[in-house]
Each structure stands twice: as C-alpha cells, then as structure tokens.
Amino acid sequence: MATKAAQKRACSSSHVGPARQMLTVAPVDPRIQDHLREPAALHHRPPVRVQHPRVCTPCTRWHYIITGPEDTPYHGGQYWGTLMFPPNYPFAPPAIRMHTPSGRFQPSTRLCLSISDFHPKSFNPAWEVSTILIGLLSFMTSDEMTTGSVSTTSAERKYMASRSRWWNSTGGGSQAKANPAQKGNVKAGDGGAKFRAEWPEVDVENWESIKKNKIDPATGNRLDGENGSSCGPQLGIAGSSGNQAQAVVDAVVQQRDAGRGWIYRNKLLVAGAVIFIYVLIARLVHGDGLA
C-alpha cells in the first residue's frame, strides 16, 4: 500500500531552471519538489511541459505537451497527451496516451511501453515524471512498434506536425467557428474545449499562429491557397482522433500497394493460371505413361 507521501508525489510538478534549459514543467507544491528534480544531463533535451491537476485525487490525470525535436519528422509539432497515475504511484506506472495525431501513435490510445501500465513489474519507483516523458519521446523518435503505435512515412509525420497546433486548438476542425457545410471540415470532437481548458495560454498562442499564417480553422489549410506546410501528401488523411489512426493505416496501405507490380495486384489470377498449367501438365504426363 502506498503511503500518503507517495500519493502526493502524483499530484506535483516543478519548474526546472532558466529558459535555456530544454526540459520544463509547471510550478506546483514546493513540499515535494525533490520528486521532480532534473539532472544536468537533461539540459539538451527537447521541451516537455506538464500541467499538474487542479485537484489532487487518488487517481490523478496529468496533461503534458511534447514539442517535436529537431532533425526528426516531428520537428515543431505540438503533441498533447495525458498520464493517468494509479493510487499507488510511484510504485506502479501511469497509463500513457497521446491525443494529438502524430503518425507514430494511435490518438488517445493506451501505449504499451516499459514505462507504462502495461508493464508494472518493470517500472522503477525512482523514475520521475520527466523521466517518463523523456522515455516516451525517445520511443516516439524510434522505429520500434508496439501496441498503440502506427507505421507511417516521414512525409506524413511532417504533415501532421505542421497541423498539430491547429488540431489541438480546434479539435481537428470541429471548433464552433467552423462551417459544418464546408468540405473537409471534421465534425467530430469537442472544438478544442478540453485542450483550451488545460492549456489556455498555449491555446491563445495557437490561435495567434493560425491567424498569422492564414490557416482555415475548419480544414487546417492555408486560406490564401499557397503551397505551404499545411498541404500534406494527398493520401486522404482525416484530422479527428476518432478516425485518424484508421486513415493513416489506409493511407500507408494505398501508398504501399501503389508501388507493387502487376503480379502482386493480380495475384489471384496468376495463382489460378499456375494451378491450371500444373493440372494440364500432370494430365499430359499421366496420359503418356498409360500409352
């Protein structure tokens, strides 16, 4: 059974150093700052932000934002997700989800990682929240597959990264200002309400960026018609969390099959022809034997 002090650890975060440090978390209860102390080795890590819960409960949900690191397809992307801590944390790991479509994970799906609730026996109680997020980022930038991950091209991941801020603040185009009748509008979602409630300042920044870059709130495309980063590969990828994963999978299958040859596309016909020829030859050989 976890102690009260251990449960309090799940309801805390801290600010780490000056702005030049690459890993930051939101300031909270100073009584337990030691649980989230950051080693100097993290100075060169990409930005990771954590929003602690407003009310601490036995089962606590934290919200995080990971900014895509340079030299990766996720560069500049804004990836929002949650950590759901169990009552006995830190003696058991949290459930990890990423809500923003990334091309790496299925949106809002529990991820099977050594640092997640899929593997409680491998979790180390000494691991801090920031350590968990750095582990998530490390896995995200690798090519290893697991439960909750998807396989997409680098171009698709760059495309989703360019639309991530728009997606977070509009719920994938479902925000109230969008025209439901407009082609390409995503009708599912909460209009970005949940993201706005957890990250109000970040949401304001996102909307400023949307207006500055003349992004259509309904579709995520440039209103001026210019070919920019918002114009992704023509693979029919939707924006909502509900159908994003399947759309990505379908797009990858389409792209894969497009590169296959005539034999692959007509494999059933080829197989039938081979069987027919085999039977014909067998009969001819059998007939010669009888003669």
Q: Which helix (H) or strand (E) holds 194?
A: helix 193-198
Catalytic one of 11, 56, 59, 112:
112
Would you call 79 helix, strand, or coil by DSSP? strand
Please list, in sequence order, all residues whose beta carbon lies within 8 angstroms of the beta carbon of residue 4, skipping any fewer than 6 positions away: none
Distance (Å, rounded) from C-alpha 69 to C-alpha 131?
16
Got the DSSP string for 121-141? GG--TT--HHHHHHHHHHHHT
Please list, in sequence order, all residues whose beta carbon lies within 8 angstroms of the beta carbon of residue 95, skipping any fewer than 6 positions away: 83, 84, 110, 116, 117
Distance (Å, rounded) from C-alpha 180 to C-alpha 218?
8
Please list, in sequence order, all residues whose beta carbon lies within 8 angstroms of the beta carbon of residue 36, skipping any fewer than 6 positions away: 12, 13, 14, 16, 25, 128, 129, 130
Distance (Å, rounded) from C-alpha 151 to C-alpha 208?
32
In the Cβ-directed half-sphere of 254, how many Cα atoms lie within 13 Å?
11
Which has the closest alpha carbon to 69: 142, 130, 13? 142
Please list, in sequence order, all residues whose beta carbon lies within 8 angstroms of the beta carbon of residue 60, skipping any fewer than 6 positions away: 10, 11, 53, 84, 85, 89
Cβ neighbours of 143 (radius 10 Å) = 8
**To which residue do tokens 């706005």 refer?**
196
Tell me, yes or no, if 112 is annotated catalytic: yes
Residue type, 192: G
Residues serving a catalytic function are 112
